[in-house]
Amino acid sequence: MNLGQQIAQYLLSGLSTGAIYSLIGVGFAIIHNATGIINFAQGELVMLGGMFTLFFLTALNLPLLVAIILAIGATTLVGVVFERLAIRPMKNASPISLVIITIGGSILIRGIAMIVWGKDTHAIPTFSGNEPIHLGEATILPQHLWIFAVTIVVMICSKLYFNYTISGKAMRACAYNRRAAGLVGIDVRRMVLFSFAISSAMGSLAGIIIAPLTMTSYDVGIMLGLKGFCAAIIGGMSSGLGTILGGILLGILESLGAGLFSSGYKDAIAFIILLLILFVRPQGLFRKGETERV
């Protein structure tokens, strides 16, 4: 394989990985815009998507589609319960206190997952086979196409929801000015609950569609969550195009760095980029976006 073919392959792999980071990053941004906090338990919700799918497939012998739907529902329920039990009672707490609570929630969820499913790495079947598909000089698996398709559909649905539904518009109003939204009759607490539900569903979906490629275990959410956070920071905490571009940029740079230099630098690249962004342009590479710009 010549250098051009290698770069084409790395770019295609980077786009696929970046799409996952984008989905996770948008989940971070939605909660941040609605509450002003960073939910560091988002990575564990990604992990739960894959692990719940595995549970419904193996323990209950359900069809893959049914297992995926139930896994998304179960993970969304976990996110809602987390908001009701951990975030809502601390309504007068400082943002840093709430961030610490989300870190504690992350550790708790990861510990419970380890007890329930063990420390082994588990495989989930691909959605439509393992026969490679040739695109020019590069090859991809059908699962990569699923990742692209699901990401595009989720982003389109997200845009339609925030722009054309009553609850979506209310959430945009809360992101813009929570106090003013409350004064005009919007139930801010309900919008916060919705933000946790939506971000949990997005996170679980990201965990499900990537699990057939990378497999899943109780601790996969740590690194995926941190890289999704990097994507959100690059995108200026935008729950729209900014974070999508941030995730794709991160995925491509990570893939190129790992392929052209060393795979040992794969994880370090994301955090080097994050540090550079925080030093040079802390508001993000792209125009700062809030939910109203979805």
pLDDT for position 42: 92
Tell me which amino acid residue 61 is: N
Asked if residues 171 and 11 have their Cβ atoms less than 8 Å apart, the reply is: no
pLDDT digits (tens, 9 = 90+) for 135-150: 777 788 888 889 999 9
pLDDT for position 287: 57
pLDDT digits (tens, 9 = 90+) for 108-121: 999 999 999 988 89
pLDDT for position 236: 79
Across the strands, what pairs with 135?
A: 138
Q: Is the predicted pLDDT of residue 96 greater than 60, yes or no?
A: yes
pLDDT for position 209: 92
The residue ranking higher by pLDDT, 282 or 227, is 227
Asked if residues 121 and 215 have their Cβ atoms less than 8 Å apart, the reply is: yes
Q: Is the predicted pLDDT of residue 290 greater than 60, yes or no?
A: no
Nearest to 231 by CA among 172, 286, 176: 286
Q: How many CB atoms lie within 10 A of CB 64?
A: 16
pLDDT for position 232: 87
CA 251 to centroid of chain Cα atoms: 13
Nearest to 243 by CA among 127, 155, 119: 155
Provide the pLDDT confidence category of residue 1 given band limits of 50, 70 and 90: low
Domains of the chain from N-terminus onward: 7-126+141-276 (1.10.3470)
pLDDT digits (tens, 9 = 90+) for 5-19: 788 888 888 898 899
pLDDT digits (tens, 9 = 90+) for 184-210: 888 888 888 888 999 999 999 999 999
CA 70 to centroid of chain Cα atoms: 18
pLDDT digits (tens, 9 = 90+) for 217-246: 998 988 899 889 988 888 877 767 788 888
pTM for the predicted model, two decimal places: 0.87
Provide the pLDDT confidence category of residue 291 given band limits of 50, 70 and 90: very low
The residue ranking higher by pLDDT, 257 or 264, is 257
Asked if residues 67 and 226 have their Cβ atoms less than 8 Å apart, the reply is: no
pLDDT for position 294: 41
Asked if residues 79 and 197 have their Cβ atoms less than 8 Å apart, the reply is: yes
Arithmetic mean of pLDDT, 48-66: 92
